[in-house]
Amino acid sequence: MSTALRAGTALAATVALGYTACTLVFLLWPEIAVNFVDALFHGLEFRKLQNGAALFEFGRFFYVLVVLAVWAFWLGALFGWLFDRLGSRPSLALRRS
């Protein structure tokens, strides 16, 4: 497997796991989680953005999970492709020796 595909797959898996872990934290400890996010964004009150009783829907979770994983795959693949292209030429220090 090429570096681009490996990097894309690794980043997509990492983002998907991170998003899933973040979602679980919000489900298990919603008050602590929203306090953390409020503090993270310098006191913005995210509770005011809550609309309706449902804080979590599986459909929305999977939608965002897929979008983030696809985006992360392409970003990681681009990184891997550039990494291969930029690293394939010998450096000036090696050419002089």
pLDDT (tens digit, 0 to 9) for every residue of the chain, 97 residues total?
899 999 999 999 999 999 999 999 989 998 898 889 899 998 888 877 777 666 678 899 999 999 999 999 999 999 999 999 998 766 555 555 5
Sequence spans of domains, the chain: 3-87
- Cα gap 82→39, rounded to integer Å: 36
Quote the tokens at residue 57: 């829907």
* pTM greater than 0.85 (yes/no): no
- Residue 20's pLDDT is what? 97
3-state secondary structure 2-37: CHHHHHHHHHHHHHHHHHHHHHHHHHHCHHHHHHHH
Tokens 């929305």, residue located: 60
- Residue 53's pLDDT is what? 66
- Residue 22's pLDDT is what? 93
- Residue 57's pLDDT is what? 85
- Residue 95's pLDDT is what? 58
